[in-house]
Amino acid sequence: MILNLFENPIFFIFAVIALVVAITVHEASHAKMADYLGDPTPRLQGRVTLNPLSHLDLVGSLFILLVGFGWGKPVEFDPYNLRNKKKDSVLISLAGPMSNFLIAVLSSLILYSLFFLNLNMPVISSFLAILIQLNLMLGVFNLVPIHPLDGFKIVEGLLSNEQALEWRKLERFGFIFLLLFIFPIGNSSIFQNVLSPLIAFIYRFLIP
């Protein structure tokens, strides 16, 4: 991604802003949902905020700049503070990806409005298109059931107690599975073969 700074500096700036927005809203939504459901942990840690500095991870941010892939600071919550431990844990985990999809849809509505009103605003349109794409990527990627992604916790919350115990045993292999999922084996990665076509398919509907 850092190469775009020299090849297309406007795209680079738009992409960085869009990623900061996507990650900030994603993590803040986790925190807000946990707070709403009765766990004060995120609020005590200062995570119920839209201040990007509270949610950006230094190493994850560097990875975003260097390779176009990174992460935010995970939101911690204590399931024992929740009224319904399993159901509420699923809702908290879903809140992040759903917030990204919401941003993508709202940005799409604005983009379609500009299109139908025949308003020629290329700078705004370009930024909205990047915002849609990156939020789709972050939302879909986080639904993959690999630890530490949100999808892992979502699946765990949908299993019986016995199945959840077995599922949690996979947690220690999460980093290995994630590397196998992201990095190319041969000419392409599992991410490119499975998720990229899905993201591109949804993206086509959201861009006029």
Distance, in Å, from the CA atom of 157 to the CA atom of 34, rounded to the nearest integer, reads 15
Whole-angstrom CA distances from 55 to 4, 28, 155, 157 are 24, 8, 24, 24
Calculate ∠ Cα 139-11-204, nearest 5°. 45
Of the listed 27, 76, 162, 171, which one is catalytic? 27
Count of structural domains within the chain: 1
Query: Which stretches in the chain have pLDDT values below 70?
Result: 1-6, 63-70
Domain hosting 51: range is 4-206
Supply the pLDDT for residue 202.
96
Q: What is the pLDDT of residue 61?
A: 73
27 tagged catalytic: yes
**Token pair for 189:** 């990665």
CA nearest to 151, candidates 196, 203, 195: 195
- β-sheet bridge partners, residue 188: 185
- At residue 6, the pLDDT reads 55
Q: What is the pLDDT of residue 24?
A: 95
CA distance between the termini of the chain: 26
